[in-house]
Amino acid sequence: MFRRYFSAFLLIFSASLYGLPVIDTWDRPLPVSPTLRPWRFRVEAALGIIRKAYPEDVIGITYDRGKNDWRLDIRTETGTGSLYWAGGKLLPGTELPGVRSYSPFFYYYPSQSPDPAEFSPETIELLARESAVAMEGSASVMCGAFFELIYDGADMRSIEQHIRRIDFLGVRISVHRKIISPLRRVEQRIYDLAETDSAVRDFIRSVQRADGYNWRDVRSSSGRSFHSWGLAVDFVSDSWNRYYIYWKWIRESGSDRWMLIPPEQRWNPPDAVISAFESEGFIWGGKWELWDNMHFEYRPEILLFREMALKQAAE
């Protein structure tokens, strides 16, 4: 959850050329950021990314002049609701007064994992400060209202009506029924790759367990974990105890220089496996600044947001 603090872009609310809100965006001095000049796009375009990622559920994007903000209208088989852009926070109307307490819905997901060998002293210090905030549990969190609407996940009783137990790469996992189809496609891609790629075959053999649904908050946070909605999967490999896998476990052991651990000392799935997941809308926690290398979660809109960022940066 705290990766949003390290977003390569900051999202703010300002006036557009058309009298409607736009996002002013610029890259922060973090290693994940490509060299991007400042760029801007209309809020309507950002909400269009969400509609593209969830075409069956997002039924409208409207400028609400009463609220002076863009509104995203959602309808699923279990209910309807509306969310406001709210400076990039994507909030229900009842939460608009507390907008400052939330972190942005979108963040920049890099194409490659950060390389600590390229970290400046300033970056190291920034990551140390932000990880301390994360450990304290005082960081702002993303509002989960969008996922509660899309996945009928306002509470444990509701979400568990949609949790299914499936086989994946030879192990059993519990996930939300809406991500079973993309997971099946990921699995088939991985098996196809394994026919010619020994690293992928070794990965499949190494998976001892996969943890999916688990109703809980993010550790040291009041924010809801994506495991709570059955949208995340953690892989436990037979070699995980020979490598570093999660920044917080290292930080809890007393090391505040966890960010300098080189990639080769971390447990990493093969690049081909990561690409297979990304091709179906999943992001990998190993590319976050506060890395969680066992973790994949379904966030197709984050991948589309990166496409928009890189496309506009190249223009």
- CA 280/CA 49 separation, integer angstroms: 15
pLDDT of residue 261: 96
pLDDT one-digit tens code per residue, 104-113: 999 889 999 9
**What's the Cα-to-Cα distance from 254 to each of 247, 250, 290, rounded to whole Å?**
11, 7, 16
Q: Phi and psi of 292, rounded to 5°?
A: -140, 90
Average pLDDT over residues 285-308: 95
Instruction: Please tell me whether residue 33 adopts helix, strand or coil conformation.
Output: coil
Whether the predicted pLDDT of 22 surpasses 80: no
Mean pLDDT of the chain: 86
Whether the predicted pLDDT of 136 surpasses 60: yes
Radius of gyration in angstroms for the set of CA atoms belonging to the chain, rounded to a whole number: 19
CATH level 2 (architecture), domain 130-147+156-300: 2-Layer Sandwich (3.30)
Whether the predicted pLDDT of 266 surpasses 80: yes
Consecutive H or E run containing 185: helix 180-194
Supply the DSSP symbol for 293: T
Whether the predicted pLDDT of 34 surpasses 90: no
Whether the predicted pLDDT of 142 surpasses 70: yes
- Domain spans, the chain: 2-114+305-314, 130-147+156-300
pLDDT of residue 134: 87
Average pLDDT over residues 248-277: 94
Q: Is 248 left (phi over 0), alpha (psi -120 to 50) or beta?
A: alpha
| Residue-wise DSSP of 47-106 | HHHHHHHSTTTEEEEEEETTTTEEEEEEEETTEEEEEE-GGGT-B-GGGGGGGGGEE-S-
pLDDT one-digit tens code per residue, 157-190: 999 999 999 999 999 999 999 999 999 999 999 9
Nearest to 77 by CA among 175, 166, 174, 162: 162
Whether the predicted pLDDT of 3 surpasses 60: no
pLDDT of residue 108: 85
pLDDT one-digit tens code per residue, 203-253: 999 999 999 999 976 655 567 899 999 999 999 999 878 999 999 999 999
Nearest to 197 by CA among 262, 265, 275: 275
User: Among 10-19, 139-148, 179-188, 233-242, whose mean pLDDT is lowest?
Assistant: 10-19
Cα-Cα-Cα-Cα dihedral sign, residues 271, 272, 273, 274? positive
Nearest to 307 by CA among 276, 271, 283, 291: 283
Q: Cα angle at 311 between 309 and 314, to 5 degrees?
A: 105
Higher pLDDT, 276 or 141: 276
pLDDT of residue 217: 65
User: Among 40-54, 139-153, 233-247, whose mean pLDDT is lowest?
Assistant: 40-54
pLDDT of residue 23: 46
Half-sphere exposure of 54 (CA within 13 A, CB side): 24
- CA 290/CA 127 separation, integer angstroms: 8
Percentage of the residues of the chain whose pLDDT score is greater than 90? 68
**Predicted model pTM:** 0.88
